[in-house]
Amino acid sequence: MIPDLVIGARDTLTDVAFKVCTALSRGHLTAVLSGGGAATVWSEGAYQSGDLDFIVEFMAGTVDLEQPMTQLGYDRQGRHYVHRRNQFIVEFPDDQILIGSESVTEYDSLTKGVLKLHILTPTDCVRDRLCSFFWYTDISALQAAVLVASKQVVDIRLVEDWAALEGESAKFAEFMRAFTRNA
């Protein structure tokens, strides 16, 4: 175990995200939080996800996720990492950050003491959640996008233009109605 990165049963999703990202960073891996986990952080807990999706940008050569994840108390179960004492599952779905058909190269980095968290920007988090709403009609993803947009500064014009390029202007209008009701 790494003393400042011990994950306990009471750690929140945000606590776990910071600790996982920091452990991977110490192993020279850049991992960016996306999905519902990013929405939990940016919505300041108004939306609650049950897992953390990190996109790892492979720095060089073979990547060993097992060692840092095991040191944090995680065991691999299929494509998931399950913690021995904490409820939050960690996944590493891709090696490239894509939002719809667009590759994302910029992200935010937050710090909490000695801990670091790389995370999609609030605007990209909204677009990421809207992907699930657009293509899978995931209402919880729509709610997450609305909550993030309500709590953070989001470039709504950029989101609208992106939605049009993705052929989803009608569903973007549905997002805007929900966002306006929530404001």
Q: How confident is the model at residue 62 (pLDDT cuts 50, 70, 90)?
A: low
pLDDT reported for residue 58: 53
Which of these, 90, 108, 77, 87, lies nearest to 23 by C-alpha position? 90
For 173, phi then psi, to 5°, come to: -60, -35
Q: Is the pLDDT of residue 1 over 60?
A: no
- Residue 2: the pLDDT is 57
% of the chain at pLDDT higher than 70: 95
Q: pTM for the whole thing?
A: 0.93
Element (H, E) at 26: helix 13-26
* Tens digit of each residue's pLDDT (9 = 90 or more) over 91-141: 998 778 889 889 898 999 999 999 999 999 999 999 999 999 999 999 999
Contact indicator for 128, 159 with CB cutoff of 8 Å = no
The reported pLDDT for the residue numbered 50 is 93
Tell me whether strands 80-83 and 51-57 are parallel, antiparallel or unpaired.
Answer: unpaired
Bridge pairing between strands 108-112 and 74-77:
unpaired
Confidence of residue 183 (pLDDT cuts 50, 70, 90): confident
Token pair belonging to 97:
């950050």
Determine the CATH number of domain 3-119: 3.30.460
Alpha-carbon distance 153 to 61, whole Å? 37
| pLDDT at site 59 | 47
CA distances to 66, 78, 129, 168, 173 from 137, rounded to whole Å, are 34, 26, 11, 12, 14
> Could you tell me which of 158, 165, 80, 173 has the C-alpha nearest to residue 125?
158
Count of Cβ atoms closer than 10 Å to residue 105 Cβ? 8
